[in-house]
């Protein structure tokens, strides 16, 4: 079974592996149901999806009638106005067949102009506050991809006390001194304020060098050897209270969950550097 930690100040103890439901975006319901069995086998108790993840919310819907109480359920919106975000939230409820979600997140909030729209009058933040006030959602978060995600999250936390953040965290990215500085600042703020921290792209090897040779559904080339996955995942989990969101591929899911289940100590930086050199790892974002 998987280790658990308090998910920020939500009162929920989440498994340190959170199911990244982007993996369900283009699979059949039959495959999705088999994926649920893997989650139950490992005791995963937290699902993270998004309105933009293809059919993921629809694939989750049939699970909820029987298993809703087993999962902390999170989704996201990329809409930046209050009206659009509110409409998308209601579609998410319809697709997932639920009457409440635990965490609603502003997705990919990294572009400055979109940030200004979301935080302004009639922006998405108004819909977020309404949904929380009306009991439709319990907690609010913000997510981001790209090199500016940590610094933009710091800006978002200055504007509003979000309950969680989500951003890329892996060894190749942290070799960028500017990114590493911003991540360390963000981690410090989150620890001081008991804000939940979710890490994505933990098992990134590099961008795909040849699209014709893609072996996984991920938009980056992932690590696939279990021993390599162990090193990368255990390095990320060595950061206190950080949760690993699993990769967007159902085939990789058991490997990542197995790795998290065996976490004990953080992979040393020199071991990660050896892995980095041996596999010619490189950052997704420059």
pLDDT, mean over the chain: 97
Helix axis angle, 112-119 to 124-133, nearest 10°:
40
What DSSP state is assigned to residue 81?
B
Taking residue 211's Cβ as centre, other Cβ atoms within 10 Å add up to 6
Q: Is 183 exposed, middle or buried (0-12, 13-18, 19+ CB in 10 A)?
A: buried
What's residue 100's pLDDT? Answer: 98
Residue 50 pLDDT greater than 90, yes or no = yes
Q: Residues 205, 220: contact at Cβ < 8 Å?
A: yes
If you count them, how many residues does the chain have?
286
What's residue 212's pLDDT? Answer: 79
Which pair of tokens denotes residue 217?
Answer: 């559904």
Give the 3-state secondary structure of residue 38.
helix
Residue 228 CA to residue 250 CA, distance in Å, equals 18
What's residue 109's pLDDT? Answer: 98
For 140, the enclosing helix (H) or strand (E) is: strand 137-143
How far is the CA of 161 from the CAs of 125, 181, 190, in angstroms? 11, 21, 10
What DSSP state is assigned to residue 166?
E
pTM score, two decimals?
A: 0.97
Residue 146 CA to residue 133 CA, distance in Å, equals 31
Residue 214 pLDDT greater than 90, yes or no = no
Residue with the bigger pLDDT between 137 and 212: it is: 137
**Please, which pLDDT band fits residue 46 given cuts at 50, 70 and 90?**
very high
What DSSP state is assigned to residue 284?
S
What mean pLDDT is predicted for residues 141-165?
A: 98
**Please, which pLDDT band fits residue 210 given cuts at 50, 70 and 90?**
confident
Q: How many helices (H) and strands (E) does the chain have?
A: 11, 12
């Amino acid at each position: 079974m998987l280790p658990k930690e308090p998910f920020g100040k939500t009162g929920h103890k989440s498994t340190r592996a959170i199911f990244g439901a982007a993996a369900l975006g283009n699979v059949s319901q039959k495959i999705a149901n088999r994926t649920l069995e893997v989650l139950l086998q490992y005791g995963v108790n937290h699902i993270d999806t998004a309105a933009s993840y293809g059919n993921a919310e629809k694939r989750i819907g049939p699970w909820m009638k029987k298993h809703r109480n087993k999962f902390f359920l999170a989704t996201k919106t990329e809409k930046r106005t209050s009206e659009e975000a509110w409409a998308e939230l209601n579609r998410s409820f319809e697709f997932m067949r639920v009457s409440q979600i635990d965490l609603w997140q502003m997705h990919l909030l990294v572009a400055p102009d979109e940030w200004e729209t979301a935080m302004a009058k009639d922006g998405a933040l108004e819909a977020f506050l309404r949904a929380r006030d009306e009991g439709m959602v319990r907690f609010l978060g913000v997510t981001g991809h790209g090199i500016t995600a940590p610094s933009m999250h710091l800006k978002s936390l200055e504007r509003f006390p979000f309950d969680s953040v989500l951003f890329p965290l892996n060894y190749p990215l942290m070799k960028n001194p500017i990114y590493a500085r911003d991540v360390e600042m963000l981690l410090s703020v989150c620890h001081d304020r008991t804000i939940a921290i979710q890490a994505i792209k933990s098992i990134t090897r590099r961008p795909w060098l040849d699209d014709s040779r893609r072996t996984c559904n991920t938009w980056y080339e992932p690590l696939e050897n279990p021993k390599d996955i162990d090193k990368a995942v255990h390095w990320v989990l060595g950061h206190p209270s950080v949760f690993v969101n699993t990769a967007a591929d159902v085939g990789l899911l058991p490997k990542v969950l197995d790795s998290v289940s065996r976490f004990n100590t953080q992979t040393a930086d020199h071991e990660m550097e050896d892995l980095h050199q041996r596999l010619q790892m490189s950052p997704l974002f420059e």
